Structure 1
Amino acid sequence: MSLPADAAETSGLTVGRAAARLGVTVRTLHHWDETGLASPSLRTHGGYRLYTATDIARLQRAVVYRELGLPLDTIRELLQAQAVDPTVALRSQRHQVQERIARLNDMVEGLDRMIRAHEQGILLTVEQQAAIFGPDWEPEGVLRARERWGDTPQWAEYAERAATRGPDDWKAIAQANAALESDLAVAMQDGIVPGSAEANRLAERHREAFDAYFHLTHEMQVCLGRMYREDAEFTAYYDRVHPGLAAWLSRVIDANAQAHGIDPGAAAWR
């Protein structure tokens, strides 16, 4: 049916005004018209679409169903009220929405853990940390590390891994590190020479141990060894395991790096 242009205001809404009232785009209404989902009942003599009050009510239902995530074919069926009980599809969609909410809640929880891991480094209580890492463990050390390296890719990688770890995971890491430190001390006592096959195996164990935190290249490992002998806090830590261990481990790391084509004197954090 078509109407003269001056009857448009009283008999229906143009596509632009209908789209504005419904909060959708004109393009959406054109698409719904072309696919037969919801078409205007009237047109002016000039061919302009006009939506009646009945059309707008149908469109409002279509918009609601679309917001619920229903596909257009299902929406078309629901709009044919005489052929379909809408509650069946709506209950099905409600169940899907609940599942989506549950997945989103899991994502939020994961993001919260990631945020805390970036901020705290280890998602364990102080008591859990003491039980796992020993009475000499200082939780503040992790916070100092964040202040020092919190803006690096390595800290981000460390935090991503820490976000997924619980007490058992950290216990396994602590035990592996303790075993490595003990083997390093024994090797030094036994006179293992940097650059020997045994020393190189220990250097590789040390580098691989860092995979629990972040990927460590041979060049980066040289930089760590340099820090062990130049940073008083790190030197004290390794020298408590065995006197002189920090300097010896640095030499072991340098020799192993040379065997992999790295010049220790030019090594950079990369």
Structure 2
Amino acid sequence: MGPMPDTTDADAHADAEGLTVGQVAARLDVTVRALHHWDEIGLARPSLRTSAGYRLYTAGDLERLHRIVVYREIGLGLDRIRAVLDDPATDVPDALRAQRAQVAERIERLKRLDTGLERMIEAHERGLLLTVEQQAAVFGPRWDPSWPAEARQRYGDTPQWRQYAERSAARGPREWQAVADAVAGLDRELGEAMDAGVTPGSDRAGRLVGRHREVFAAYFPLTRQMQVCLARMYEADPAYAAHYDTVRPGLAGWFRRLVDADARAHGIDPDTATWE
């Protein structure tokens, strides 16, 4: 709240002949509509009228209006302002203390909002809001801390990156550990299913493909068409293929066939699937 305006000249002028609604609105930086409303509800009525019926405010009226503006600026509602100004039973310091407590609560909410906005900005720019040490602890020694920056460079303009950033902004080490555990659990399930001879198109294969979409949703929602593209990238990209080979040799190719079969079962041609 800024300093109180210097009203000496205005008050002298008001004492002499009164100020119009427009003049008061300009001096107090309020709207004419607000002044009319305060007049209509009896909160601040002009004491004088011209012969033509126009409102004129006296110095006393201006003093009351200044107090209204100050109280309104600190957040008091009009009914509460009326009580502070007119009700002798109102304890003004107590009313102001209560308002100050509400302001303090609002400041804390704004601080939390500011922190959330800062994290959201960082998540859009960095992807993963963990230190290098935290990343190693969560994702293991094979994790390369340069991967998030590479992903940002490659996918930063996509809707999926924005969805990922929104999820990332709300996560700390504990939440990311839960994601990492779910991914590791899925890898174990896939390895065990491959050992058991699960074939593309089987019921168990369909459940595994669905489980993959469910786990992957921790990053962003994955459609079946997108899943086809992703599974083919797992097989074609050396880094992804090497990861899945550590689970079971040839796992990426085997999983790609499961995904292709599931896509066909849902009317999707894997050979023409696109990222949508």
* Cα distance in 2 between the residues matched to 1:143 and 1:103: 32
Q: TM-score, normalised by structure 2?
A: 0.88
Say whether residues 1:251 and 2:257 are aligned partners: yes
| Residue 165 (str. 1) matches residue 171 (str. 2) | yes
CA distance in 2, matches of 1:135, 1:232: 18
Equivalences, count: 264
Match of 1:149 in 2: 155
User: What amino acid is the match of 2:17?
Assistant: S
Which of 227, 234, 242 is the equivalent residue of 1:228?
234
Q: 1:207 aligns with which of 186, 210, 213?
A: 213
Structure 1 unmatched runs, 5+: 1-6
Contact 2:14–2:57 (CA<8 Å) still a contact in 1? no
* Matched-pair contact (CA < 8 Å) for 1:42–1:50: yes
* Unpaired runs of at least 5, structure 2: 1-12
Report what 1:241 is aligned to.
247
> Is the alpha carbon distance of 1:236 and 1:169 closer, same or farther for their aligned partners in structure 2, counting shifts above 3 Å?
same
- Partner residue of 1:3? none
Instruction: Report Cα offsets for 1:100-127 as digits up to 9, x if no partner.
Output: 1111111111222222222222222111
| Deviation, structure 1 residue 230 | 2.9
Residue 195 of structure 1, CA deviation: 1.6
Q: For 1:193, give the aligned amino acid.
A: T
Any idea what the Cα deviations from partners look like across 1:66-119, whole Å, max 9, x if unmatched?
Answer: 112211111112222645332221111111111111111111112222222222
Which residue matches 1:219?
225
CA contact (8 A) 1:8 1:14 kept: no
Range moving further from structure 2, 127-136 or 20-29: 127-136
Q: How many percent of aligned residue pairs carry the same amino acid?
A: 61
Match of 1:179 among 177, 182, 185: 185
TM-score, normalised relative to structure 1: 0.90
Cα displacement string for residues 184-230 of structure 1 (whole angstroms, at most 9, x for unaligned residues): 23333443322222222221221111121111111111111122233
1:86-101 equivalent positions in 2, closer than 5 A: 86-101=92-107
Letter in 1 for 2:257: R
* Inter-partner Cα distance in structure 2 for 1:219 and 1:250: 12
In the alignment, is the contact (CA less than 8 A) between 2:15 and 2:59 conserved in 1?
no
Partner of 1:22: 28
Q: Tell me whether 114-123 or 43-52 shows the greater mean CA deviation.
A: 114-123
Structure 2 letter corresponding to 1:185: G
Q: 1:139 pairs with 127, 145, 154, which one? A: 145
Return the alpha-carbon distance in structure 2 between the equivalents of residues 9 and 36 of structure 1: 21
- Paired residue for 1:191, among 194, 197, 201? 197
Distance 1:9 1:44 in 2: 14
| 2:120–2:169 Cα contact (<8 Å) kept | yes
Of 113, 120, 129, the residue aligned with 1:123 is 129
Against the structure 1 CA distance between its residues 8 and 59, is the aligned structure 2 distance closer, same or farther, given a 3 Å change threshold?
closer
User: Offset of 1:63 from its aligned partner?
Assistant: 0.7
Q: In structure 2, which of residues 112, 116, 119 is the aligned counterpart of residue 113 of structure 1?
A: 119
Contact 2:47–2:56 (Cα < 8 Å) also in 1: yes
Is contact 1:8-1:44 (8 Å) kept? Answer: no
